[in-house]
Amino acid sequence: MPWRHKWSIGAIAFILIVIAGLVYWFNGLSDKKPLDITVIIKSTDKSIEFWEVLVDGIHEASQEFDTNVQVWGSKAETDVDEQIALVEKAIRGRPDAIVLAANDYDRLVPVAEKVKKSGIKLIIVDSGIDSDVAQSIVATDNVNAGKEAGQAMKQHLEGPAKVAIISYVKNAASHIDREKGVREILSGNPNIELLDTFYVEGSEQNAYLMAKEILNEYPDMLGIVGLNEPTTVGAGRAIRELEVKERVKLIGFDSSFNEIKLLDEGIIKATVIQRPFQMGYLSIKTAVEAVRGKKIPGIIDTGSLLITKRNMYEEENQKLLFPFVGN
Amino acid sequence: MGIFSRLRSIQTNMVLAFVILILMTILIMSITSYYLTKEAVHSKAQAYTTELVKQVNNNIKSYVSGMKSMSDLVVGNHAVQQYLSTEKFNSLAEEKKAKEAVSDMLESMLVSRTDISSVNVFGYGGQFVTGRKDLELNPYIDIASLSWYTKAKEAGGESVISPSHVQPVFKDHYPWVVSLSRELISRDGETKLGVFLVDLNFSVMNDMVKEIRLGQRGYLFIVDSTGKIVYHPQQQLIYSTLKSEMIDQVLEIKNGTFTSDEGSDSRMYTVQDSDFGWKIVGVSYVNELVDNQNEVRLSFIILGLICIVIAIIISFFLSQRVSQPIKQLQDSMKEVEKGNFNIHVSVPTTIEIGRLARAFNIMVGKIKELMSQTVLDQEQKRKSEINALQAQINPHFLYNTLDSIVWMAESNKSREVVLMTSALAKLFRASISKGEELVSIGTEIEHITNYLMIQKMRYKNKLDYQIEIGDSVQHYLTIKVILQPIVENAIYHGIKMKHGPGLITITAEETDTDIYLIIEDNGKGMDEEKQRTILLPAPQLGEGRGVGVRNVHERLKLYFGAQYGLTYKSALDQGTTVYIRIPKSIPSVKEELGCLGDTSGR
């Protein structure tokens, strides 16, 4: 009897509709399944506060969005091969999303493309790669950060002055962007003479020596911009040693115990810091949204903040400058 | 079968009604009980959170009261008073001794207190004594500008608790602490001597509060009386406005609970006020309060589904029970339609359907009865016809006629003999007339003419007759041999009994629908009693007056209906008039007859 079949099909359809209705009323059960996210950072070295704080943000977000997060990383930031191997391993684990802070701008591109091919969402945090396979990039806008440093330098300089920029390495994207920002603000100013950028080949000691040379060469009003933490601290040490903090205005990037001391002493006039907690938190939040199929922006700027001696102990800045990581 | 026609079926209707009814019930029940459960769990969770927040509050209070009691000790301490109030010491050694007395006292406070970061005394005269001998002052920091210092001065001898902050006072140390500061005043209350500072390692509180999670996403946070955050697990998110907290509302209430209105992200705040100005706040996400919410939902859904399935099965059976006998009844009706009346539906136990089945059975019985009645009527008709035929071949009439013929033959009246014999022959031919039932009135008249001719020859002048039938009625049909018994009756019981000659007149009248044949005699007539009973069924069939007449009456009624038949009008010694009423139209029979007439014409 065919009509009986029709009737039972109708009944089943009716029941299914009712189930759907119930599920809808209960606001979805499937939504609650925890996601698996693998995070691969640049370094698991506990002494690097930046990554510790970033991981803190990751854990905070993973609690809030109910995700199972695994955080991996090569021991040293320079170990590109190990990081590639970690990404391969992560792909084999088939998580819902991978959050990656790339150790190398070029060499991680193939493996990142493999992530995309495997159908796993890729979110880049802090340091990008030369490819657009990532769903989203959560990082500081370094050009903007450079502009902030440039503005600070402009305010601190009185009368005609020369400005030297010290860069850590030659081909790091973040440094190029920061330098671009600094130059954009300072160039075209009649009072300011921008010197060629000095490269210190990835060493704080080199930065110190280089700064000393510069200080000796230019005995007049001078501004120095250190594009990251070691260059800033190296230059700061030179200024402290030569006792020229009145004459030389040092603007730095990032923060560390040494930088804070130099800020306290008044040697560093200002430093531009990032928000690693936000980066970690937003990278997970964005990954979750990407997996859930929500529309996410391609680039999320976590912003930067100018810290001076005057505002360094303000409530809002203390947490950033003095990360409270389990101590 | 289309959907809409199926919707009209009782079974579908019943199943649908049942399912919808049960579905509604289950939905309402589950929703109600779900919310009741939720409510119960909600208040339980609230109580739990309140208890937890109280616990945290007590722990924090114990730390703060520890610091307070330290400050009490220092404020009243003789050595401290001595050291700070002495404007100028006589010698450096004396100054050193006084300072050491203070630092020893402070150091002793720190023994076995890992939670305390430092205990210090800052004199307004620039003196500085700390319980931690390894600490040096940070030369780049202006202590007088720090908030714990200025606030202690403003408070005038009262303890001031700072929010969590970085303490930059010491060289190369930037610890996170909660500071209690208090201005030191000389015993006489006249001179302000300096500020006492005790720093509590914030990690102590941080570790304690950090581990507390209320549900999956819930957490604890602490604000001070000005709304500054002492502790918050997502402090950075709040500073960068990625998150917000209902600080204003928290500050408004002392203790208690409120819920923020953020839709599915609504948060329940449980606030506990500590007596030193801080508020410990537990934040739970409302939709997480029901810890096993998913299981509760799932079990409700599964239970609901099981109930629905059972409901559908039950409703199927129930509706089957109702509709099955109806279907059976329908099948039986189809049988009846086909003509099978020998059917008896078993009466189902359901009252209503049972009644229906019984009524059906009765109906079928009635129909059956009527059918057999019809058959009986037919038989009756045949019988009447035979009777009519018998009436024709009345033996008395026959031998009387033959007697007359013999008598006439003896008298050599050969012409009369021929006439009579041929009339007799015609009479019999007409009455036998091919076995047909219906004949035209014309034929019937011919028949009666022959009959009357014979009788006239027998009775001579005693009998006279007149037949006046117009052509317009000649062709109408009637059953045969209806006039003869009446005429015979008129002769034998009317005219024969009378003195003198008698006259029989046969005429016809017509109305729109009917035809009346009227037989009138001027014979003896009948009394009223006779008139009344002549057409009633006789107790026994047989000879005697009226048998033939009654037969005619019954045949007419059987053939044409109850309103047709004979009517008598009579008066004693006056004569009798008989009206035969027959309908003009019996079309179906007429057609059939026309056809039959054709074949018989050959």
Q: What is the pLDDT of residues B304-360, one digit of tens each?
A: 778 778 877 887 787 777 778 788 888 888 888 887 878 787 777 778 778 888 888
Of B146, B174, B305, the CB nearest to A19: B305
Reduced DSSP (H G I as helix, E B as strand, rest coil) percent helix, strand, coil of chain B, to 5: 55, 20, 25
Q: Are B478 and B443 in contact (CB under 8 A)?
A: no
Question: Is the minimum CB–CB distance between B150 and chain A shorter than 8 Å?
Answer: no
Q: Does B267 touch chain A (CB under 8 A)?
A: no
> Does residue B96 lie in a domain region?
yes
**Residue B317's pLDDT is what?**
81
Q: Could you tell me which residue, B433 or B501, shows the higher pLDDT?
A: B501
Q: Identify the residue with better confidence: A245 or B301.
A: A245
The answer to whether B241 contacts chain A (CB < 8 Å) is no
Angle at CA of residue B146, ends B142 and B149, nearest 5°: 110
Has residue A19 been placed in a domain? no
In contact, B425 and B454? CB cutoff 8 Å: no
| Rounded-to-integer distance, Cα A303 and Cα A308, Å | 17
Task: Choose among B1, B234, B297: nearest Cβ to A60.
Answer: B234
Q: Taking CB atoms and an 8 Å limit, are A66 and B216 in contact across chains?
A: yes
pLDDT of the residue at B602? 37
Q: How many CB pairs lie under 8 A apart between chains A and B?
A: 85
Confidence of residue A36 (pLDDT cuts 50, 70, 90): very high
Q: CA B459, CA B425: separation in Å to the nearest integer?
A: 19
Residue-wise pLDDT for A276-289, tens only, equals 889 999 999 999 99
Query: Mapping DSSP to helix (H, G, I), strand (E, B) and coil, where does residue A75 land?
Result: coil
Of B138, B166, B237, the CB nearest to A322: B166
Q: What was the pLDDT predicted at A321?
A: 84
> Using one digit for the tens of pLDDT, what is the confidence trace for A181-217?
999 999 888 888 888 899 988 788 999 999 999 999 9
Q: Distance (Å) from the C-alpha of residue B166 to the closest C-alpha of chain A? A: 7
Give CA–CA dist B288/B291, Å, rounded. Answer: 6
Number of separate domains in chain A: 2
Residue A184 lies in a domain: yes
How many Å apart are CA B466 and CA B247, to the nearest integer?
133
Sort out which chain A residues have CB atoms less than 8 A from B140's CB and list them.
264-266
| Cβ–Cβ contact B304 with A under 8 A | yes
B306 touches B6 (CB < 8 A)? no
- Say whether B594 sits in a helix, a strand or coil: helix
Question: Cα torsion for B158, B159, B164, B168, to the nearest 10°?
Answer: 90
Contacts of A5 in chain B (CB under 8 A): none
Q: Which of A273, A291, A318 is the last residue of a domain?
A: A273
Say if CB B155 and CB B183 are below 8 A apart: yes
CA of A20: which chain B residue's CA is closest? Answer: B301
3 state DSSP class of B128: strand
Which amino acid type is present at position A227? L
Picking from A3, A14, A275, the nearest residue to B240 by CB comes out as: A275
HSE, CB side, 13 Å, CA atoms: give it for residue B215: 24
Sorting pLDDT into bands at 50, 70 and 90, what band is B24? confident
Question: Which residues in chain B are contacts of A58 at CB distance < 8 A?
Answer: none
Query: Cα distance from A110 to chain B (closest Cα, Å)?
Result: 34
Q: CB A278 to CB B237 under 8 A?
A: yes
CA nearest B523: which of B505, B508, B549, B546? B505
Nearest CA in chain A to B264: A27
Chain A CB contacts of B247 under 8 Å are none
Above 80 in pLDDT, residue B414?
A: yes
Pairing label, strands A305-308, A268-273: antiparallel
* B476 domain residue, yes or no: yes
Statement to judge: residues A62 and A79 lie in one domain: yes
Indicate whether A99 belongs to any domain: yes
More confident residue, B236 or B293: B236
Residue B146 has pLDDT above 70, yes or no: yes
Identify whether residues A80 and A134 lie together within a single domain.
yes
What is the chain B residue with the closest CA to A327?
B203
Task: Please check whether residue B4 touches A, CB under 8 A.
Answer: no
Residues of B in contact with A318 (CB under 8 A): 165-166
On whether any CB of chain A is under 8 Å from the CB of B33, the answer is no
pTM of the model: 0.61
Is B236 close to A15, i.e. CB distance below 8 A? no
A97 shares its domain with A85: yes
* Sign for the pseudo-dihedral over CA of A37, A40, A45, A51: negative
- CA-atom Rg of chain A in angstroms: 25
On whether any CB of chain A is under 8 Å from the CB of B344, the answer is no
A interface with B, Cβ–Cβ below 8 Å? 3, 7, 11, 14-15, 18-19, 22-23, 25-27, 29, 32, 57, 60, 63-64, 66, 257, 260-261, 264-266, 275, 277-278, 281-282, 303, 313, 315-316, 318-322, 324, 326-327
Q: Give the model's pLDDT for residue A1.
A: 44
Comparing alpha-carbon positions, the chain B residue that sits nearest to A10 is B3
pLDDT band at A25 (very low <50, low <70, confident <90, very high): low
Tokens describing residue B455:
């009788």
The last residue of one of the domains, among B177, B205, B233, is B205
> Which residue, of B205, B234, B261, is where some domain finishes?
B205
Q: Are residues A159 and A258 in the same domain?
A: yes
pLDDT at B572 over 80: yes
Record: contact A22-B206, CB cut-off 8 A: no
Q: Do A136 and A164 fall within a single domain?
A: no
Please provide the DSSP assignment of A192-256 as one string: EEEPPPEE--S-HHHHHHHHHHHHHH--SSEEEEESSHHHHHHHHHHHHHHT-TTTEEEEEES--
Question: What is the structure's pLDDT at B539?
Answer: 54
The reported pLDDT for the residue numbered A185 is 92
Work out the mean pLDDT of chain B and round it to a whole number.
Answer: 82
Among candidates B168, B174, B235 on the partner chain, residue whose Cβ is nearest the Cβ of A319: B235
Q: Which residues of A touch B177 (CB under 8 A)?
A: none
Per-residue confidence band for B258, with pLDDT thresholds at 50, 70 and 90: confident
Residues in chain A: 327
Q: Which residues of A touch B229 (CB under 8 A)?
A: 315
Higher pLDDT, B534 or A324: B534
User: Residue B158 falls within a domain, yes or no?
Assistant: yes
Task: Determine contact, residues B551/B485, Cβ cutoff 8 Å.
Answer: yes
Say whether A32 and B294 touch across the interface (CB within 8 A): yes
The DSSP output letter for A159 is S
Strand order in the sheet with A121-125: A67-73, A35-41, A97-100, A121-125, A136-139, A299-301
Is residue A269 domain-shared with residue A146, that is, in the same domain?
yes
Higher-scoring residue by pLDDT: B486, B430: B486
A219 plus A147 within the same structural domain: yes
A269 and A280 within one domain: no
Which of A25, A60, A315 shows the shortest C-beta gap to B233? A60
Would you call B232 an interface residue with chain A, using a CB distance cutoff of 8 Å?
no
pLDDT, one tens digit per residue, over A110-162 is: 999 999 999 999 999 988 888 888 889 999 999 999 999 999 999 988 888 89
Looking at beta carbons, which residues of chain A come within 8 Å of B264?
Answer: 27
Say if the Cβ atoms of A316 and B239 lie within 8 Å. yes
A313 domain-assigned: no
Query: For residue B160, is it within any domain?
Result: yes
Residues A126, A149: one domain? Answer: no
Strands B267-273 and B256-259: antiparallel
Sort out which chain B residues have CB atoms less than 8 A from A64's CB and list them.
217
Task: Give the domain-ending residue among B151, B176, B205.
Answer: B205
pLDDT in tens, B440-493: 888 888 888 888 888 888 888 888 899 998 888 888 888 877 888 888 888 888
Per-residue model confidence (pLDDT) at position A22: 64
Confidence class for position B600, pLDDT limits 50, 70, 90: very low
- pLDDT given at position B150: 92
Query: What is each CA distance from B22 to B18, B217, B545, in whole angstroms?
Result: 6, 38, 82
Inter-chain CB proximity A313 and B176 less than 8 Å: no
In a domain, A5, yes or no: no
CATH number at residue A103: 3.40.50.2300
Q: Find tokens 């136990």 and name the residue.
A: B349
Are the beta carbons of B240 and A18 separated by less than 8 Å? no
Q: Which of B6, B166, B264 sits opposite A3 (nearest CB)?
A: B6
Question: Looking at the domain assignment, is residue A323 inside a domain?
Answer: no
Interface of B with A in 163-182 (CB under 8 A): 163, 165-166, 168, 172, 174, 176
Q: Does residue A55 sit in the same domain as residue A115?
A: yes
Torsion over CA of A218, A173, B238 and B165, rounded to 10 degrees?
-40
- CATH number, position B427: 3.30.565.10
The answer to whether residue A218 sits within a structural domain is yes
Is residue A269 packed enough to be buried (19+ CB in 10 Å), middle (13-18) or exposed (0-12)?
buried
Average the pLDDT over A97-119 and give the result.
Answer: 89
Contact in structure between A165 and A253 (CB atoms under 8 Å): no
pLDDT band at A3 (very low <50, low <70, confident <90, very high): low
Most A-contacting residue of B166, B228, B283 (CB-CB within 10 A), to test interface: B166
Residue of B nearest to A313 (CA): B166
pLDDT, chain A, mean: 85
Question: A186 and A124 in one domain?
Answer: no
Q: What is the dihedral of CA A94, A97, A98, A99, to 10 degrees?
A: -160
Instruction: Tell me the three-class secondary structure of A109-125, residue by residue.
Output: HHHHHHHHHCCCEEEEE
- Which residues span the domain enclosing A265? 142-273
pLDDT on residue B588: 43
Domain containing residue B577: 393-600
Of B6, B31, B141, the CB nearest to A264: B141
* Side chain identity, residue B3: I
Number of domains in chain B: 2
Q: What is the rounded distance in angstroms from the CA atom of residue A232 to the CA atom of residue B98?
A: 44
The beta strands (E) that lie in B384-451 are given as 438-440
Contacts A326 to B, Cβ<8 Å: 203
pLDDT(B218) > 90 = no
Taking only the tens place, the pLDDT of each residue in B34-63 is 788 878 877 888 888 889 889 889 988 988
Residues A89 and A136 both lie in one domain: yes
B310 part of a folded domain: no
Structure tokens at A75: 């021991």
